[in-house]
Amino acid sequence: MSDEMITLTIDGQQVSVPRGTTILEAAEQIGIHIPRICYHEALTPPAVCRMCVVEVEKSRVLVASCAAECAPGMVVHTHSPRVERSRRTILEMLGSAVRLDEAPEIQSLIATYGADLSRFAGGARRDFPLLDDNPFYVRDYSQCVMCWRCVQACADDGQYAYALNFGGRGFHSHIATFADLPMPDTTCVFCGLCVGVCPTGALKPKVEWALEQGFAPDQIRELTRRGRRHREQER
């Protein structure tokens, strides 16, 4: 980030920031919150969810504020009718395709923007079987919004393990492992970073999941013990 300061206007307020500052960061400095799903302060902004889009005067398209840098004299509107319509539509499309009942942040956005989750009812759903292949966490990609956070945390932004990546194409794209291998057969070190940054419950600690399923404490201990024994045998 440069020492050169530039001035722009966000929602009628002037703000001066170092060159290289993103619109989202500049807005936060003057108390303007821009909603986001894929963005996480500890990760590289992937700019894939499009919830953080803003309207920049003289720009033909809405701009992802988490990745777009401020420019001198820029005039930004973070909650214009066009921006709010875009965010509402994104939420409605997500709600039509995946389960969001364990995504409190997204549920809050749905209420804020008055998203109608029945608008695209009858469309295809992203249904995946629950993956329970290790003693530490489960993966339920029917709740995954493809925010990339887990992939980033597993790669250069965190553990450098590269156990998670992308599989499939288009509507059928999903988070996956190489050749769809079970987690114990990948480079995963079970650090839990991916679980910690997941915003929807698609990745969940095994103990938490087992308690929700009604397992007794003794049963849960046996589940994790079996998993540990399995890994020791593999070594």
On average, the pLDDT of the chain sits at 92
Does residue 47 belong to any structural domain of this protein?
yes
Q: 3-state DSSP call for residue 142?
A: helix
Domain limits at 166? 137-234
pLDDT in the model for residue 226: 57
Q: Which of 79, 108, 124 is the last residue of a domain?
A: 79
Instruction: Return the CATH number at 153.
Output: 3.30.70.20
User: What confidence tens digit (pLDDT) does each residue in 152-203 have?
Assistant: 999 999 999 999 999 988 888 899 999 999 999 999 999 999 999 999 999 9
What is the rounded distance in angstroms from the CA atom of residue 94 to the CA atom of residue 63?
A: 20
Q: Which residues contact 69 (CB under 8 A, 6 or more apart)?
A: 19, 20, 21, 22, 23
Q: Which of 79, 99, 126 is the last residue of a domain?
A: 79
Of 35, 12, 28, 33, nearest to 113 by C-alpha is 35
Tell me, yes or no, whether 75 and 146 share the same domain: no
Output the pTM of the full model.
Answer: 0.88
Does residue 154 belong to any structural domain of this protein?
yes
Average pLDDT per run of 10 along the chain, which is 235 residues long?
89 97 97 97 94 97 97 98 98 95 96 95 90 92 96 97 92 91 95 96 93 86 62 42
Place of tokens 């890994």: 231
Neighbours of 90 (CB within 10 A): 20
Widest Cα–Cα separation across the chain: 63
Does residue 49 belong to any structural domain of this protein?
yes
Of 126, 117, 131, nearest to 209 by C-alpha is 131
Q: Which of 60, 79, 98 is the last residue of a domain?
A: 79
Instruction: Return the CATH number at 44.
Output: 3.10.20.740
pLDDT in the model for residue 218: 82
Does residue 18 belong to any structural domain of this protein?
yes
What is the rounded distance in angstroms from the CA atom of residue 186 to the CA atom of residue 94?
A: 30
Does residue 93 belong to any structural domain of this protein?
no
What is the rounded distance in angstroms from the CA atom of residue 152 to the CA atom of residue 162?
A: 9
Which residue type sits at 1? M
Of 200, 226, 221, 201, nearest to 210 by C-alpha is 221
CA–CA distance from 178 to each of 44, 95, 162, 166, 230 (Å)? 22, 28, 9, 9, 20
Number of domains in the chain: 2
Does residue 131 belong to any structural domain of this protein?
no
Does residue 19 belong to any structural domain of this protein?
yes
Tell me, yes or no, whether 73 and 147 share the same domain: no
Does residue 112 belong to any structural domain of this protein?
no
User: What confidence tens digit (pLDDT) does each residue in 45-60 have?
Assistant: 999 999 999 999 999 9
